[in-house]
Structure 1
């Protein structure tokens, strides 16, 4: 499996709009086992995204899906930066096969 954990910073007052936009795009993504978007309770402009994929190639391919490309384009004006992104090798857990 392949995983990513990232922290996005939203423009002032735009975190909820960015959150909703990201959540709308988490539908059909072949190879995606888990995609969690969370508010940072200590930082009103930050969102954490935790992803688990069957493999790195599935993640890379997802970035080319039309609905993902559209979401990225719509999200750009709402994002002021990516402060943290690491790759992981998930070993298992609830909801993962």
Structure 2
């Protein structure tokens, strides 16, 4: 498997909406998409309204093409209603590891 594009995002939910934000992310249309090979959602232990997302895609082009679709745009619109301010994105390409959930 080759991951050519990825990022890590830190999102701050409106107070008390961290669980709802996580629920939307865990139902994201990117999860079953073949070009999305890493999609991890985490929560801050100190602040349940701070949510972390790590994504890995086969290419930047595949990521851009997917996020131009209607299901992706609907998700982005839903997420915007739950967020408190801007999200922070970090350039990160997953290279390996383990996730047992």
TM-score by length of structure 2 reads 0.81
Consecutive unaligned residues of structure 1, counting only runs of 5 or more, are none
Rounded Cα–Cα distance in structure 2 between residues aligned with 1:89 and 1:24:
22
- Which is worse superposed, 33-42 or 61-70? 61-70
- 2:41 maps to 1:31: no
Deviations 1:23-43 (CA, angstroms, capped at 9, x unpaired)? 111433341111111111122
Find the counterpart in structure 2 of residue 9 from structure 1.
Answer: 12
Find the counterpart in structure 1 of residue 82 from structure 2.
Answer: 78
Consecutive unaligned residues of structure 2, counting only runs of 5 or more, are none
Structure 1 runs (4+) deviating above 6 angstroms are none
Q: Number of matched residues?
A: 94
3-state DSSP of counterpart to 2:86:
strand
Find the counterpart in structure 1 of residue 61 from structure 2.
Answer: 57
Cα RMSD after superposing both structures: 1.7
- Corresponding residue to 1:43 among 47, 67, 70: 47
Deviations 1:3-41 (CA, angstroms, capped at 9, x unpaired)? 100100000010101110111114333411111111111
1:64–1:30 distance in 2 versus 1, CA, 3 Å: farther
Conserved? CA contact 2:19–2:48, under 8 Å: no
Find the counterpart in structure 1 of residue 70 from structure 2.
Answer: 66
Conserved? CA contact 2:6–2:55, under 8 Å: yes
